[in-house]
Structure 1
């Protein structure tokens, strides 16, 4: 497709060529922020991460992102080696080193660290965790509503790899994204183990039907912080919102559809499997939710 769009498409910013990144307690030029080929994250995808966004001098919902990071680290039995205050300070210091005050995106990553030998067992990671923060000047530039394609890849059961875990192991989602691209779409719409509409490979998914906002039950998707905020602002604004099972049949006939995520906040969906959703443009309720979300971030 000649006009391929991604949900993380940003304006080009030359300042990103000279950004400074945080790595294991040091702030380094981009070219010097390197990790070992023996690192557990590189070798096995053994790690967890958070994406955090800077608006007007404040990192949006930072406490909730840190909560989720520490929950994930506990789940995979990974000692981050830093407390919340130290991680928060590392984020603030990296922003200051880059002169960032707004429209910046941080990816905070923690892996089990460098291995003594190139094998799976976690006991081979003996040098302590690798903690890194990539921080970029980043202003979303998504020129048109996103096109989705349903793919055979699903978000699985919690006992295989819990979809709520924001892990470095993203291959399932990457394969879903590739399948969607091959089908001429921008991103993949993934179903759950029962065949109900679930999430996309990178974002949470919502539809609007007859003034109601629907999203999946949440059982098989990332527990997105932006997802939770949209549910909250719907309830506070008196907009009917439901976490429920629904099918592709109901999705194709939706009045609007949109994605949620830290980067793009609320991104409109124009078509799914070649079927136009609503007018094919951003719908009025999606636009209203965008405004309410901006107000929530500012507050």
Structure 2
């Protein structure tokens, strides 16, 4: 990445993260000592699932939705997490408490099929139970990303059909997205714009995508992208606040001519896009619909925190 390239996951360095304790299968260990076996299914095969969470002022935003997605993914890949929802939540809070974390925290909860007795893919070789790792870091999104904007480059690597690997699955197997991102970085962009199998605009390598045309918000049909929780919250907020929104097929022609383009994800919430394939979007600055949605989303976080406190 060059000095001018940015990411939707940019955050200011925080020295407190040097000494964090990481949850590894029930133990809280210093960052430098947090390890899993080379025989672990996640390391060896990418055989695992994960969720990213945000902690705002003591509130884990949309925790139930994240747990729903995690346990649904486990059901799909026949993975026994080895903990109930309540036990997993307890482990998350145990990790936060051990690190004295109260706000502006990003968590990654990872579950793999566990350690294998032989280095092959057969799931029955995972005989030691699942591996659970929880990483919680002091991490606040860089607000400068709003003023600098993201540059996207359309890549030949697409989000595929569910017949291969369903894009709705939040799995450890992210190689397709990493290859796409590398392609975009080599082109001088910040993230990769990925199309669906039929050539319609879909998502980026890391985030869901929205465009705005004449005050109307468009996003993909959702058939070939991650079923993003922030994505759904944005759609819901639009519906509740009389902002026209459509899940539909649309092309690069529609995207290049958009008034606004922005990304959504758990970490950055909403991030504006200023350039797509060298075409400047919205004069290279965030648009009014972006700011309206961002304000509504912040209010939703605050309301949710109060209602659960």
- For the aligned pair, the TM-score class normalised by the smaller chain equals over 0.9
Tell me if 1:288 matches 2:292: yes
1:173 to 154, 171, 177: 177
Residues 68-91 of structure 1 deviation map (CA, whole Å, 9 limit, x = unaligned): 000000000000000000011111
Q: Structure 1 CA distance, aligned partners of 2:132 and 2:80?
A: 11
Query: The residue matched to 1:279 in structure 2 has which SS?
Result: helix
- Equivalence for 1:140: 141
Deviations 1:87-114 (A, max 9, x none): 1111111111111111000000000000
Q: Please give the secondary structure, in 2, of the residue aligned with 1:158.
A: coil
Query: Matches of 1:57 and 1:69 in 2, distance apart?
Result: 21
Which residue number in structure 2 is paired with residue 20 of structure 1? 21
Inter-partner Cα distance in structure 2 for 1:100 and 1:145:
29
Equivalent of 1:248 in 249, 252, 257: 252
Post-superposition Cα deviations, 1:204-233, rounded to whole Å, max 9, x if no partner, equal: 000000000000000000000000000000
Unaligned runs of 5+ in 1: none
Residue equivalent to 1:4? 5
Give, in whole Å, the separation in 1 of the partners of 2:66 and 2:246. 24
**From 275, 278, 282, the counterpart of 1:274:** 278
Matches within 5 A, 1:88-237: 88-141=89-142, 142-143=144-145, 144-237=148-241
The corresponding residue for 2:53 is 52
In 1: Cα distance, 2:300 partner to 2:283 partner: 28
- SS of the counterpart of 1:199? strand
SS at match of 2:172: coil
Structure 1 residue 281: Cα displacement: 1.1
Deviation at 1:2, TM superposition (A): 2.9
SS in 1 for 2:78: coil
Secondary structure of the 1:174 match is helix
Q: TM-score, normalised by structure 2?
A: 0.96
Indicate the SS of the match to 2:68: helix
SS at match of 1:239: coil
For the aligned residue pairs, the C-alpha RMSD in angstroms reads: 0.7
Deviations 1:177-201 (A, max 9, x none): 0000011100000000000000000
**Structure-1 separation of matches of 2:187 and 2:10:** 20
Return the alpha-carbon distance in structure 2 between the equivalents of residues 100 and 172 of structure 1.
Answer: 34
Query: 1:31, CA displacement in angstroms?
Result: 1.4
Report the count of equivalent residues.
299
CA drift at 1:27: 1.3
TM (normalized to structure 1)? 0.99
Whole-angstrom CA distance in 1 between matches of 2:285 and 2:157: 27
